[in-house]
Structure 1
Amino acid sequence: MHKVKNSAVLVALIAVAAMLTLAACSEEMSDAEIKEAAMGMGMVEAGSETMSDDQIKQAAMAMGMMTEEDAKAMADEMMPEDSMMVGDRLAQVRERDKVICASRNDVPGYGYLDSSGNNVGFDIDLCRALAAAVLGDPSKIEIRLISAAERGPTIQSGEVDMLVRTVTWTTSRDSQWGNYAQTMFFDGQGFMVNKDLGLMSALELKDATVCVTQGTTTSNQNDLNITALGFEDTDAVVAAYESGQCDAFTNDRSQLAAIGSAFQNRDAHVILPETISEEPLGPVVPHGDDQWFDIVKTVMGILIYAEAYSVDSGSVPTAVTGDTKVDRLFGLEGSFGQESLGLSQTVAQDVINAVGNYGEVYDRNLGPGGIDLPRANGRNALWADAACMDCPKGGQIYSAPLR
């Protein structure tokens, strides 16, 4: 596959082609003349400032300057050594035979150690779903534990295939860290306090000391007149709160519930009613590989649409059902583009058999089987269901149509 090239590289390739022409016929050509010649051959539309890969190769070959193989080789040599080829990530994952995800093991519901010492949770299941899709085996994962402050550098480095560590989607992170694939949970920042303080509202936290995790959006949402005391990770925040170093601690409301569920005396603590931010959470992939980005988006969409079509891990169809949408999703008839991404025709069967649909993943980790966060009629309910895809259900969980 071809590397993604910017306009400067395209212009440089044309310039090199022009120099080859000069060497052959000893005539000078300006950049404008080069472009004019390309337009004259119908390779570039008038007014266009750049040329595509195919246009460059066609123009170069039409001028008799090089073969298609030479044009491709020249373009490859002009790219930086660390450039990511479209499709490289999938090939790398399959060669190493595992998906590497950056996550955590310290928050119930999202990523934590179960009684057998296994790292489980909502975020971990998203990694398992991806492994099932690209490797056919949800167990072929490696979880790299990172702190909140390490999330950006880790995904920027490209050393992991996906970041799934309760990461809020913001425009600056999207442009600087990596590509956000899909919002898989809608959250918001809240506060937990000791019930003995008698506080009923976050507005009563004036002049209070609040423990926060450094390097998070949570630490920056301060329009309240409070003193923020920062710590490297969640464990340190909770320890400081329990030892009385702060009056309250703040985090996404789902994480407050998860942490509170592990307190010995859960009833001694209360989550204040206010939500002071919007925190859309989802997986992030490194910049530079559109195919991998599309694969992760597709896998997340499979989880969501399987629930919308009322298909769970116990009812995955293996023969044509007569329902066009279900048959297409599960690779029984038609396609939603999975093969062009390098995935099997029946990738949805592999994913849902491995982890279940979105509702199953939620219930197992964040719902009744986990930290018991209500979902019905909330933002994390589906937008619609299979019975009436145009009938709102009050939720915001939705994916691009898989067709």
Structure 2
Amino acid sequence: MKQTVLVGALALAGLSAGVAGAATLDDVKARGKLNCGVTTGLTGFANPNANGEWEGFDVAVCRAVAAAILGDPTAIEFVPTTGKTRFTALASGEIDMLARNTTWTFTRDVDLKFEFVGVNYYDGQGFMVPKELGVSSAKELDGATVCIQTGTTTELNLADFFRANNMEYEPVPVETDNEAQQQYLAGACDAYTTDASGLAAVRATFEAPGDHILLPEIISKEPLGPLVRHGDNEWGDIVRWTLNALIAAEEYGITSANVDELAQGTESPEINRILGTEGSLGEMLGLNADWAKNAIKAGGNYGELFEKNIGEATPIGLARGLNAQWTNGGLLYAPPFR
């Protein structure tokens, strides 16, 4: 097993090395679209709507990057990936970036040679069970069958949690959220475990969401965010600062509704630098001066994207919690634009 993991890591590293020399920004501009890896379908985060158009919280990050570079948030090819295929797709150059509820870990950063450019959702692993199971705590799941996605951090977290609590379980491996949902509803497993946000998203699609409960335990830290390949720092800077622009926009009150007006110039030097009316930040990135303006205009600032796709007024119903701005007790904190 260790040998397989090592070979897999070396293979991904080799793929990364093979494409790292290419200037990703030049490639995106030449083809006129961004290739963005997303999940195969997770309501609120990345899912095709009735018209076949991709939408969701993670999708919005892709659209912001496309808008920053090409001035068009629709100039994107969305590439659905599973827990198993996502890293190969990125390492091989099939996609330019991955925005797929992926946890930032040491080995993914260092061993697999990827660069996480920030966190767009601070999460943690939880458990969902049918209410009729009569369980109120994950510590009551000794001997349970558990649906779990392969190729994810949740596999190791689950093993660690059960071992630490001297409990046993039987894993029911699945590859996608859709398969997990089907298996769970069919009774193939007593519980389903993944990121708590993912559980809320899946439960929102059930015919009777109230028949299922999320247990109180959060057993891990899951900082989720977009990632790119090692070896192209300029490209990493573009994706990183586009995400930062969305976060900073909320802090400074820049919205999709007022961004055009504020782009005429304000008394705030920071807002002016973000929107390109002062300084030369766009030029430093190899982009137009209005790159951040276009990114924000594509769907709104971080808060607008959160509330529209996964917030408390949506069926998913997530509170901001750790994902609130630092000024409101959360962890969101964009570095200065200067």
TM-score by length of 1: 0.75
Name the aligned partner's letter for residue 56 of structure 2: G
What does 1:231-250 correspond to in 2, within 5 Å?
Answer: 231-250=174-193
Report which of the two structures shows the higher radius of gyration computed on alpha carbons. 1
Aligned to 2:13: none
Q: What residue number does 2:122 align with?
A: 186
Q: CA deviation at 1:240?
A: 1.2
2:177/2:202 contact within 8 Å kept: no
The answer for unaligned runs of 5 or more in structure 2 is 1-16
Q: Residue 352 of structure 1: which of 288, 296, 306 is its match?
A: 296
Q: Which residue of 2 aligns with 1:42?
A: none
2:102 to 160, 164, 167: 167
SS in 2 for 1:274: coil
Percent identity between the two aligned chains: 41
* 8 A Cα contact 1:189 1:250, kept in partner: yes
Aligned-partner SS, 1:285: strand
- What is the CA RMSD across the aligned residues, in angstroms? 1.4
Paired position in structure 1 for 2:133: 197
Given that 1:105 and 1:119 are in contact with CA atoms closer than 8 Å, whether structure 2 keeps it comes out as: no
Task: Establish whether residue 208 from structure 1 lines up as the match of residue 127 from structure 2.
Answer: no
Residue identity in the other structure for 1:197: L
Per-residue deviation at 1:116?
A: 2.3
Number of residue-to-residue matches in the alignment: 311
Shift of 1:82: 3.8
CA–CA distance in structure 2, aligned partners of residues 96 and 334 of structure 1:
29
2:194 to 236, 240, 251: 251
- Is it true that 1:108 corresponds to 2:108 in the alignment? no
- Measure how far apart 1:318 and its partner are: 2.4
Q: Is the 8 A contact 2:117 2:226 kept in 1?
A: yes
8 Å Cα contact 1:182/1:399 also seen in 2:
no
- The answer to whether the Cα contact below 8 Å between 2:40 and 2:176 also exists between their aligned partners in 1 is no
Match of 1:321 in 2: 266
Cα pair distance change 1:229/1:292, threshold 3 Å: same
Report the CA distance shift for 1:83/1:158 in structure 2 as closer, same or farther (over 3 A): closer
Amino acid at match of 1:361: L
- Select 1:299's aligned residue among 226, 242, 265: 242
Which protein has greater RCO, CA pairs closer than 8 Å, 6+ apart?
2
Q: Say yes or no: does 1:399 pair with 2:337.
A: no
Question: How far 1:190 moved relative to its partner?
Answer: 0.4
Find the residue that maps to 2:323 and give its secondary structure: coil
1:263 and 2:206 matched: yes
Matched residue, 1:73:
none
- Unaligned runs of 5+ residues in structure 1 are 1-80, 385-392
Q: In the alignment, which residue of structure 2 is the partner of 1:229?
A: 172
Distance 2:30 2:152 in 1: 34
Q: Which moved more, 1:245-254 or 1:149-158?
A: 149-158
Question: In structure 1, what is the Cα distance between the partners aligned to 2:91 and 2:113?
Answer: 5
TM (normalized to structure 2)?
Answer: 0.89
Equivalent residue for 2:53? 118
Q: Aligned equivalents of 1:370 and 1:327: distance in 2?
A: 36
Residues 2-401 of structure 1 correspond to what in structure 2 (within 5 A)? 82=18, 84-85=20-21, 88-175=23-110, 176-221=112-157, 222=159, 223-224=161-162, 225=167, 226-316=169-259, 317-335=262-280, 337-367=281-311, 368-369=313-314, 371-375=316-320, 378-384=321-327, 393-401=328-336
